[in-house]
Each structure stands twice: as structure tokens, then as C-alpha cells.
Structure 1
Amino acid sequence: MSWREALTPVRMERVALVAPEAAIDPMLTEIAASGAVELDLPRHAEGAPDEFARARDAAVLRDGLAGYVGWTPSTSLPDLAERLAPAGAAAVPIQRPRGVEPPTLLSGEAEAAGMSRALVDTYGTVPYRDIDPARAAAFAYIVMFGMMFGDVGHGAILLGIGLLLRTGRPRRFAGIQRAWGFVTAAGAAAIAFGFLYGEAFGPTGLVPVLWLSPLEEPVPFLIAAIVLGSVLLAAAYAIGTVNRVREGGWGYALYARSGVAGSLLFLAAAVLAGGIVWGLMWLVALAAALAVLAIVFLSIGLYVASGGHFAGVLQTVIEVGDTIIRLGSNVVSFARLAAFGLTHAALLLVVWQGTTALWGLGPLGAVAGVLLFVVGNVLTFALEALVAAIQALRLSYYELFSRVFESEGRPFRPWSPAVDSAAGPTPYADEGGVAAGDLPVPERRPA
């Protein structure tokens, strides 16, 4: 699979499914068995006891023929046509209706990505025309988690938990086995940042400081967190701009807050920061020019969207100001990477200082010190792992995904009620049919 295919949903075809009126049941049976067609059916049909009856009632009848329309993956079309031929039916590609978005189906590899896939899917379904950011989102999440949870010892424990999950043990956690890769990667990131911080179960001296100690250099640590956040925001703006172009062309992307206009405003803020830090007035002037250009584009887009007139002008002014303020708050929000990294280091410092103090009080003190070290690390691990996981998720959803997505797609739901090959169609008990994850996923090609 190419990198382009990995970033885009499966290409969909709008199809007409036609058969002689007497062959409706064989055609529907083959469609259901294929698990590759999403039929356009009414949500409810009065008097329809099961899905096959509902589908029969929804057929368009004309001149002795029965027809349906729906969506199917483009690579499934030849196999579908071959399945329908013995029943005297046919699947014919037709023009997509204007203004109707095809359903989204992601590749089998993307589905197998486990938690990286779920990270995006819990936010919303990727629109059909958009780039799928699942892999990039997983990488950003793991880096942010590692920065907040940086400790060699705690990272090693988390990595061990991930490898244990891979084995399916303990069995009570077998349901989350697919998360093993995500957990293992988060543990590896924590180990890497732990070496950078010189932290291994706290400031124990087991590993040297390769970069900086958070507690000794909090200001550089804070700046590093904001810089990392700015890099992630830049990537989100880049993906968002590509998505706006794919959704509505350059005309739409130019004026969008998560498109060219928003990207220019973010670039202006970055250039301004560089001009102030390095004392270069020409960079400050360039930032001002970029900001003016960005505000002009934003104002045009917001004014057109508002419907015009005086109320539209007022709404535009308010929303432009809100966009500028929100951009600043989003950048500063990444300071929490440093804040929670400092909290993690501070808690472990307290535990280590208490341990060393008790260690020098004789045998009983040594036992108490060991007990404090174990209990303190267990509590800190549990608390900080939860906090870091939640905060990384919050930054992903509110700061990053809000720029990547402007709308939500809808998942591809194949019409596939239960079919008994010997007895024909059987009553359909649960709307939705066979779970999409249980169906064969076709090969993909870029949209």
C-alpha cells in the first residue's frame, strides 16, 4: 500500500443495481452476501417485518425491472457484478449526485492500527474527501504523553504492560489487547524523555541528564513545550489547508480559518515571535504584513458566511477577534506539557527525598524508606499516567483536530442482513447487519 493510499479513504462508486422484478430476492441475497454495498433505503417502512421486506418495498419498479441505488468501493465493483450476473442482475456505475458526500471506508491496515485509529474515530468519522490523520495523530499523542510522563523507570513499566497486553494476559484485559502497540510506544516515548531529563524513578542518579532537568530549568522546559506545540499546530494547519482544498477548492481554502487564512495568521505569529526574540525589526514588519493579509482573507470569508449587512459586519469583527485570541490561547495551552512534566518530576522528587531521609535512620528506617519508595512510585505512576493520557487527548481534540476537521463524514455501512444460503433470506433482527469490521475490506486506490 502506497503512502497516498494510507492517507485517504477507499474510493467509492455510486451504483445502480437492476434486475428483473421476479429476481429481486436473488439479487438482494447476493448483495447481502457480498457485504460490499450500502443501499439507499428508507429508515422505516410500514409493514416491513424484516430487512429483506423493507428492501423489497423500497425497490423502484418500472417496465418489469426493479432497481436500487447505493454506494460500493470501486475495487469491489467487478466482483459485485460477477456475483449478480447469475441472477440476471447488474451493477452499473452512475454519476454521483451533487452535494452528496460518499460514505467513508478506511483500509484494513488502518483498521488494524488499533488505538491510533480509535483516537480519530472517537472524535468523528473522517470526511470522504479529507486526509486521514490517524497515524500522525497517534505520533503526536505519544510524543506529548512522553514529554509529560518522562521517566525511564515508569516508561519501562508502561512498556512492559504493553508487551504483556500483546500476549493477551491477564485474560480479563484481552478485550484491549489491540492497544498493546499504542501502550508500548507511549512507554518507549516516556523512556526517551526520561533519559533527556535524567529521571529514573525520580532524580535517583541512575541515568545522566542528556538535555535538561525540568525542576532545575523550568523556564527552558516551558519554552520547549510551547515550541513543540507550535510545531504540532503548524502540522495541523498544513493538513487542515489540504483538507479545505479537497473539500471546496482553493477558493474555499483561501478564506477558511483552518485553511490558508488561518495558516497565514499562525505564520505571522511565529514570525513575530522570531523577530522579538532575535531583535530583527524586518521580521516584525513581515509579521505585520502577513497578519494584515490573513485578517483580510478571514474577514472576507466570515462576512460572506454571515450573510452580509451591518449584522454581518459586527459578527465578522467579533469572530476575527475571537480567532486571534483563540490562536494565542491554543499556543499557550501547550504549556501544560511542561506543567504536568514538572508535576511528575516534583512528585518523584518528594518520594526520593523521603526515601533517602528514612534510609539513614537505621534498619527500620531503611524498611520504611523502601516501602515509601515503592508505594510513592506506584501512586505517582497511576496518577500521572492517567493525567498525561487525558491531557494529551485534550490537546489532540481541542488544539489539533479542530484545525484538521471542519465537518464530519459518515461511515460506510454495507447492507448485509443474515443470509441462509439454503433457505434464502432470513429475518433481520438487528439493524446494521454484520459488523463492518467482520467484512472483507477491499484493496484501495487513492481518491
Structure 2
Amino acid sequence: MLIVSVAFFLLILIGMPVAFAIGISGALFFVQNPDLPFTIPVQVTISMTQNFALLAVPLFILAGNFMNKSGITEQLLNLASVMTGRWKGGLAQVSIALSALMGGVSGSAIADAAMQARMLGAGMLQRGMSKGFAAGVLSFGSLLTPVIPPGLGMILYGTIGQVSIGRLFAAGFAPALLLWAALGMTVWIVARRRGYPAERTARMPVREVGSALRGGLWALLFPVFLLVGLRMGVFTPSEIGAFAVVYAMFIGVFVYRKLRRASFLEALEGSLADVGSVMFLIALSAIFTYGIVLESVPDLVAEWIMAVTGGLNGAMLLIVLALLIAGFFIDSTVLIIMLTPIFLPLVKDLGGDPVHFGMVFIIAATIGNFTPPVGAAMYAVCSILRCPVGVYTRESVPFFLAVALVTLALVFFPGLVLFIPDLIFGAS
């Protein structure tokens, strides 16, 4: 597997699309082993796409695009402003609150970061905030989006690792609140030192607060309906995706009345591109995974980690460190698809809970979207705000430290992740 791994990183470094880099490097394993029929790569690629549980992926992507075109973003922005507008940091606090509220709508950190940079970036700069600070807030704040259900990372991890998606959905709420608190406090400290003002100075009238709550209610209820449906056995994880699509269309057409023919077609077009890229990546990753399993790579990695650490917490810390380093170069979706079959069996053997590990794994893998040299969310925000990457990196350090502290807390205190799933679904 050494040649396969080296080939993968070389192809990534020269700029080849990740899906092709995975597929080509995985195919090299069969070139090295002529005893294996070369029909296997074709077979495993096709069989991977026949996994019924993966039906949830395109359905939730379609639901997210319908939600985005339904006009719900403006309603959530208004609600976020009502909730946090009087806190120090003004629009920066509003941005983090909006990311938390958008979790049930988009599920993508990169999409959320780019959207918010266009919506709030110019306003933050007009209020005297530095480009680096604004870019750091908009980028790291979007970490909340994939942690709140139905994040795509949860669906991929749950499907690949055969972990309850319902429990993963429930497990996302507490970490998201902790991340929101940590990032909000960081913004407050920096804003107080630099004199960044609050967005609102007067108390909101009760009528306006009620109007904002009503406007954002349908989005807030979305993850609740998902959990209730799964807990009551009304839907399977695949069927809940179909419900999400129907729900998104209903509120877009009949509640907000902004999902018209043009926006409907735009949502379909965007979904086709998103689904195609994700499913193509999943299909070609099967070639890579076949070699990993055949060569007993998970067992070798487990032996090495056990020799270095000797315990669950040490192993999880080492995995988090490896994910942070890998995230400097590889997208979070790729990390989840490629590394779940390697790390999850190790954590299970050490007595770890797969849901607890899943949330830590998803957060650690997603952080790479906000760090140089290839962070996709970082480049999206910096490009829109025209912020140099060096300036962004320097001013994002406090946000990185805040997220790192929360991740460490989640590693050592599994109850922070598991108490809501245990409350809803019972102890595992």
C-alpha cells in the first residue's frame, strides 16, 4: 500500500481532482498484484453505488438545495440578528448564530461559509472589522453547519461505518452548542479589545421578536422532525431523506412561497452537480478501500497506535492529530470516506462508542476546510473578501484554539456527546 499512498498524495499535489486521484491510486494496487483479476475495481465500484443506505445522500442534498432556494436564509438571518445582535461583535456574532441555525438547511461548511461571506462580509468590513478577523469568523463559524443534523458527514460516516444515523443526528446538538459558545466567546473577547460595536443597541420589541421566531420556526423544526420520525420508527434513515425533500418543497412553495419554477430548476441543477461529485467520489473510494482491507491496514494501524498510546483517549487524540494534519491537504468528505474503515474498528476494539468517536471524527476532519494550504472554505471566504491567506491565518488562530479546546473536551468527556442520543434512543 506504500506505492498506492505515495501515488495518491502525488496526484493530489499536482492538482488532480480527488475522485480521480483515489481511483487511479487504488487501481495501482491491482497492478502490483497481478493475481487479482482487474475486473474487481469495476465490480466494487458498481456494488458501492448499490448500497441502499446511500440513498439518503442525494435526498438530503436535494432537500438542502430546496431549503436554500425557499427564502428561509433571510428568515434565519433575521432570527440570528434578534438573538445575538446586542452582543459585542455585532455582525460577527450574528454570523456564528446564523451558521448554527443553517445547520438543518445546508449541511455543508463550505457552502455556508461562501454564502455568509457574500451576505455579511461587506457589512462586517464597513463596521470597521479587519479583513482577517471577518474572514476567520465567517470561515470557522461554518464548522457548526455540518455538526447539526442532517450534516452530510454524519450520513457518510453512519453509512460507511454501519452506525445509527439517528443517534448521530441527536449527538450533534451538544457539540454544536459548545462550539457556538466557544466561538462566540472568542468573538466577544476580540471585539471588546478592538472596540467592535454591537449590531443593535436597543432591546427588540416583543412583536419583532415574535415575528423573527415565526419566520425561522420551520427551519428550527426540521431537525426535530427528523429525530422524532427516526425515534418513533416512522422512517428509516433512507426514507427520512425523502421526507426531508417533501418538507423542503412544502415550506418553499406554501409557507415562504419563493420556490418557483426558476428556483426549483436551479435547485435541481445544483443538486445534480453536488450528488454527482459526492457519489462519484464514494464509488471510486471503494477501489482504494478494497486494497486497505485486503492488506489488513486497519490492523496494522491499530497495532501501531496501541504501541504508541495504549488506551482509548490516547488513540483518539492521535487520530485527531492525524486528521488535522491530513486536513491541511485533503477535503473532509474524502477523509471521512477513506479513514472511517481504518479508525472506527480500532476505536471499537478499545471500547469506544462509535457515535462519540463519529462526532469527534467529523469535527476534526472538517477543521481542515479552514486551514491552509488547501482549505476550501478558507479560500472561498478569502476570495470573496479579498483577504490575503497570511492575514487570515494570523487572525484565525484564536478561533482555531477555541475549536481545538472543544474537540479536546469532547474526547475526554464522551457524555457531552452521548447524553442526548441516550435520552432519546436509550443507552447503547
In the superposition, the TM-score normalised over structure 2's length comes to 0.23
Question: Does 1 or 2 have the higher relative contact order (CA < 8 Å, sep 6+)?
Answer: 2
Bigger CA radius of gyration: 1
More strand by share: 1
More helix by share: 2
